[in-house]
Structure 1
Amino acid sequence: MATDTGLTPPPPHVSPERIVPFDIYDLPGSDEDIQLAYRAFQQAAPSIFWTPHNGGHWVATRAEHIEAIQKDTATFSHQRITLPRMPDSVPKQIPLELDPPEHAPYRRPLMQALLPRVVNAMEPAVRARAIELIEPLVARGACEFVDDFAGIFPVSVFLELVNIPQDDRETLRELAERSVRASDNDVRMSSFHDLGAYLAPVVIARRERPGTDLLSAIVTVEIEGKMIPFDKAMSFAMLVMFGGLDTVASMLAFIARFLAIHDDVRRQIAARLDDAAFLRHAIEELLRRHGLANTARVLTRDVELDGVMLKAGEMILPPNMLVGLDERKVSDPTTVDLSRPFPIRHAVFGNGHHTCPGAVLARREIQIFLEEWLGRIPEFRIRPGSRPIAATGMVNGIVKLELEWDGAG
């Protein structure tokens, strides 16, 4: 993973006490616990601070400010969401880099494809896929969780949704990894280029002969009675592909790591897998503790936030995960408390107009993982002598996780 080597001098209006050396791609302590590495800045840094890394940008650390930024798209625009900021010559990532109301027609097919009733209909096949992957692992007594399960299970479900060959999974996963965790814009652009080369003939074919799959639906969206142009269809397809190839896989790895080192929480869940209400509660608490996605914003106007003057054109990062880790909103936030009262406060799937349309499917995949994995492998641990390998970036993740358990022989 590349790290940021150049530092951007602060603008004149940034006071020295607001400058903090925060590098989203290289956070101290992230190998031990990425979420706690973010929380360390939340605890020690000003509520709003400026970092010279990755082009120079603001960071919000308090839940109240993060939620306000997420919901106020008129002031905090999605026009560019990655750090460092992509050049204006680079096409927007549709619909994530569109603000309301322009983004709404693009989101509609995603929302319709992932409604609860649709996910309910998918569940038997999704569950069968999970079982197919877990069963051979039981007797082995060990696995590399990302390569053997997390990088396959949700990705294979997604590829089925978009009708892309399963044989291409590893190639596509590698492209997604470069896109979401590379700090170098050239590296990120190369991943866009490679995915574009892969997708172009597929998108052309789906526009000419649409199927019933999700990819066909998004590349044939009509705006004001006309099919969107090819370039926008490509941008839309690429964004959905990058999202579908990485985020749930990363969340599953975070949860597996946590359960491997917290026997009490793991055993509580394993003992109540048939309690649907309890399991829903446990999933929300695990999500709250393990936020992973980041999307930056661009200031459309000068505005004062918590006594800090932010200028039009500057970028600010409102880390989603810090909402659920802020003790001003969540008591004892670093502890996973399976009896925590509802509602459980977090912003793992975002807030407002850009709330993740895949949230229903993501929760269902986590549920199925817990039910089927803990039903077969209730006791597991991190393999002695190994350490999880984490990666920070626009989407945080665990890229290697060696687990072991007492195999069935």
Structure 2
Amino acid sequence: MTQATMVDNRVRADRPAHIPEALVRDIDMYALDGIDQGFHEAWKALQTPDMPELVWTPLTGGHWVATRGEVIKEVYSDPARFSSEVIFLPKEAGEKYGMVPTRMDPPEHTPYRKLLDTGLNPGQIRKMEEQVRQAAIDLIEPLVAQGQCDFAADYANVFPVKVFMAMAGLPMSDVPKLAVFAKDMTRPAGSSPEEMAATLDAANKGFDAYVDPIIRERRGKNGTDLISVMVNGSINGEPISHEKAVGLISLLLLGGLDTVVNFLSFSMIYLARHPEKVAEIREDELKLRRGVEELFRRFPVVSDARMVAVDQTYRGVDLKQGDMILLPTALHGLDAGEHADPWDLDWERKSVQHSTFGGGPHRCAGLHLARLEATVTLQEWIRRIPAFSLASGANPVYHSGIVAAVENVPLVWDAVAAG
């Protein structure tokens, strides 16, 4: 089946009357054109000089797409005009998503965010550095003598998950089941919005059913794990309700099981292809630490959405309440209007601008943990495997969605030199 035939067979929404035909583009966030060449490459191909900063696609239920970094940043930062009431696409699926507090706008959102921050603030994350570092070392050291590995399968899919499960006081044996739920929420299967909504709804319910008895067991006790801290916290001076606790802990699981996992693999593919970039940080610890933010600028993986809160004219385009706007964070980090030579990973880039962690009141609560995990991975990997490359004939497999993914990342190195 040709790609053109596949596109023609996709379910298309009717174009609403307020959307000019000139702004319509076929963009499928779950099956990007050119994805075989890379996830970021596929999104970046949209940023042609003649591409409007807002376009509308009839695919995935019909929605707007922001194509410029400035627009993505602005929409994230303005909940009064662009609501988080629905954040996943297609909208039918997003309406099934019930995790807390991502579907809330201020001021309702604020106390839940404060509670999240009690367990994920910089001070708490600093206390975890030794534990995080040991988790990385335990995974890397057995690989050194092998001279090869599938980085995605052997490290990236394990390390951040191992860290998170330890924080939450949960067994690693539960990860395979939870990973399926995470995949079905961020890259839901289905050939229509209704089918995708059913997939996401089932996964969301799977998370809820998993955390429900855990919350009941830890409520009212003095545990210090992340789940215990959350479920014994308060909202506006009152104990968090069971229903909201279920949504909050499910959100933590989703974030801990999918996002950093894929960011690490995308980063390592680039570094394996650019040994000169590894050489720059091999002997310069300060450059490594300062440069981690550049990795996040270069390799965003999230494409979530906002719902138009009120009828408005925005940047010359008529938007109607209920319209959805997709915010591909890759298009902020790779926007040449925001960064000179955006494809280049410049460890010393000044004023790094990106939306990799979202923005506004919903800026990712786990960003401090993500930064620590990325820094520790670079430090401990390069200390033990100072030079590495992609295996000959390597063909990473890319997936787009709410959270992008990549599989098959075979790395090779001189085991003698590494040892």
TM-score past 0.5 threshold: yes
1:382, 1:402 within 8 Å by CA — same for their partners in 2? yes
In structure 1, what is the Cα distance between the partners aligned to 2:248 and 2:123? 24
In structure 1, what is the Cα distance between the partners aligned to 2:222 and 2:208? 19
1:106, 1:221 within 8 Å by CA — same for their partners in 2? no
Q: Out of 391, 407, 414, which is 1:406 matched to?
A: 414
- Aligned match of 2:24: 19
In structure 1, what is the Cα distance between the partners aligned to 2:159 and 2:115? 23
- Match of 2:218, as an amino acid? R
Q: Out of 119, 128, 147, which is 1:113 matched to?
A: 119
Q: How does 1:109-148 map to 2 (within 5 A)?
A: 109-148=115-154
- Structure 1 residue 334 and structure 2 residue 343: aligned? yes
Q: Out of 49, 54, 60, which is 1:48 matched to?
A: 54
Per-residue CA deviations over 1:185-231 (Å, capped at 9, x if unaligned) read 22222222222222221121122435111112223332233323222
- Match of 2:101, as an amino acid? P
In structure 1, what is the Cα distance between the partners aligned to 2:272 and 2:139? 19
- Aligned match of 1:379: 387
Per-residue CA deviations over 1:351-402 (Å, capped at 9, x if unaligned) read 2111111111111111110010011112212222331111110011213312
| CA spacing shift, 1:89–1:146, aligned 2, 3 Å | closer
In structure 1, what is the Cα distance between the partners aligned to 2:403 and 2:96? 20
- Aligned match of 1:29: 34
In structure 2, what is the Cα distance between the partners aligned to 1:193 and 1:320? 27
> Mind listing any 5+ residue stretches in structure 2 that lack a counterpart?
1-5, 190-195
Q: Give secondary structure in 1 for the equivalent of 2:35.
A: coil
Q: How does 1:5-404 map to 2 (within 5 A)?
A: 5-43=10-48, 45-86=51-92, 90=96, 92-183=98-189, 184-272=196-284, 275-276=285-286, 278-340=287-349, 342-404=350-412
1:19, 1:49 within 8 Å by CA — same for their partners in 2? yes
| Deviation of the 1:91 alpha carbon | 5.8
Per-residue CA deviations over 1:296-344 (Å, capped at 9, x if unaligned) read 111111111221111111111122222221111111111112232x221
- Match of 1:305, as an amino acid? Y
- Match of 1:397, as an amino acid? A
In structure 1, what is the Cα distance between the partners aligned to 2:44 and 2:228? 41
- Match of 1:206, as an amino acid? R
Larger CA deviation: 221-230 vs 261-270: 221-230
> Mind listing any 5+ residue stretches in structure 1 that lack a counterpart?
none
1:127, 1:368 within 8 Å by CA — same for their partners in 2? yes
| CA spacing shift, 1:310–1:249, aligned 2, 3 Å | same
| CA spacing shift, 1:320–1:89, aligned 2, 3 Å | closer
Per-residue CA deviations over 1:64-106 (Å, capped at 9, x if unaligned) read 2111111110110000100011468736321111001111111
- Match of 1:93, as an amino acid? M
2:98, 2:204 within 8 Å by CA — same for their partners in 1? no
Per-residue CA deviations over 1:145-169 (Å, capped at 9, x if unaligned) read 1221111111111111111112222
2:93, 2:200 within 8 Å by CA — same for their partners in 1? no
| CA spacing shift, 1:250–1:356, aligned 2, 3 Å | same
Moved over 4 A (4+): none
| CA spacing shift, 1:88–1:185, aligned 2, 3 Å | closer
In structure 1, what is the Cα distance between the partners aligned to 2:410 and 2:316? 46
In structure 2, what is the Cα distance between the partners aligned to 1:339 and 1:90? 42
- TM normalised by structure 2 equals 0.92
Per-residue CA deviations over 1:230-253 (Å, capped at 9, x if unaligned) read 222111111111011111111111
In structure 2, what is the Cα distance between the partners aligned to 1:42 and 1:227? 47
Q: Give secondary structure in 2 for the equivalent of 1:373.
A: helix
In structure 2, what is the Cα distance between the partners aligned to 1:134 and 1:91? 36
| CA spacing shift, 1:88–1:328, aligned 2, 3 Å | closer
- Match of 1:300, as an amino acid? A
| RMSD of aligned residue pairs (Cα, Å) | 1.9
| CA spacing shift, 1:335–1:23, aligned 2, 3 Å | same
In structure 2, what is the Cα distance between the partners aligned to 1:225 and 1:287? 36
Larger CA deviation: 112-121 vs 62-71: 112-121
Larger CA deviation: 109-118 vs 3-12: 3-12
Q: Percent identity?
A: 38
1:79, 1:92 within 8 Å by CA — same for their partners in 2? no
1:80, 1:92 within 8 Å by CA — same for their partners in 2? no
In structure 2, what is the Cα distance between the partners aligned to 1:171 and 1:148? 18
- Match of 1:310, as an amino acid? L
2:111, 2:236 within 8 Å by CA — same for their partners in 1? no
Q: Give secondary structure in 2 for the equivalent of 1:295.
A: strand
How many residue pairs get matched?
404
- Match of 1:16, as an amino acid? E
In structure 2, what is the Cα distance between the partners aligned to 1:288 and 1:381? 22
